[in-house]
Amino acid sequence: MSYRRRAAIAGSLVAASFSTVVIFSAVAGAENGGPGSDQGGKAVDRAPAGVELTTLLPERISVDNSSKKTGITATVKNDGSKESDDIRLLVVGFDGLRIEEVKGCAEIPEKDLPEGSNSGFSCPVGKLGAGKSRSYDVEASYDLTKEGRICLPVQSADGSRTFWQQGPVPFGTANPSPDAPATPLLLGTDNEPVTPGGDELARTGVGREALVPLGAAGAVLVAVGAAGVWGARRRGES
């Protein structure tokens, strides 16, 4: 696996707690796990002994075709035998999927978002006990004329380590229904938008193989597909 291929993406995210972000490209083979799934997830940095952090996204969501609104439940779990240290969960939207609000979380300023993303929130989880989980209600919009992806990294409170990352993973449908009240979308499915111009699909965001500069920060982001892994590592004092 090309798990360790990476390109740095800089930025201090919300408040002083955010640190440099790195995009990892990898193939993640997680299977669907019921109503909540860790599909597209991958461990990045080693968690403390006895701590096993993962995330779950719903296998299905539904987008209102009039308002373009949808709701997503983002869950962070500790499947280990020991309580974690203070952690945080990031919820980041890409392409046609925009994160509008995550209750109890702080919005990431636009200037600090990773290249290729359009929105994001940082959720202070705190310590998470063994066998415990915490869920967040995510309000999002989805432009069904585009593809859409979401990413859930689980990090140490200071952002120096990323213990787990789910995504960027797509929600989508191969059978759009623009005349219906709502369009159901499946996790891990590339969206095939209805386009007025024929058979060619709308391609949005950064090309999967491209390197894109991060403006003044001078960092780059490796755009990844549904099985990409987005982690964070402290790169020293600036």
Domains recognised in the chain with CATH numbers: 6-232 (2.60.40.10)
pLDDT tens-digit profile, the chain (238 residues):
443 333 333 333 333 233 334 434 332 333 333 468 999 999 999 999 999 999 999 999 999 999 999 999 999 999 999 999 999 999 999 999 999 999 999 999 998 887 899 999 999 999 999 999 999 999 999 999 999 999 999 999 998 999 999 999 999 998 887 788 999 999 999 998 865 544 444 443 333 333 333 333 223 233 333 334 444 443 344 4
User: In whole angstroms, what is the distance from residue 102 CA to residue 131 CA?
Assistant: 23
pLDDT of residue 206: 38
Q: How far is CA 213 from CA 16, 88, 110, 150, in A?
A: 23, 27, 16, 21
User: In whole angstroms, what is the distance from residue 7 CA to residue 15 CA?
Assistant: 23
Measured distance between the N- and C-terminal CA atoms of the chain, rounded to whole angstroms: 31
User: In whole angstroms, what is the distance from residue 228 CA to residue 92 CA?
Assistant: 13
User: In whole angstroms, what is the distance from residue 212 CA to residue 189 CA?
Assistant: 25
Beta bridge partners of 33: none
pLDDT of residue 174: 84
pLDDT of residue 196: 53
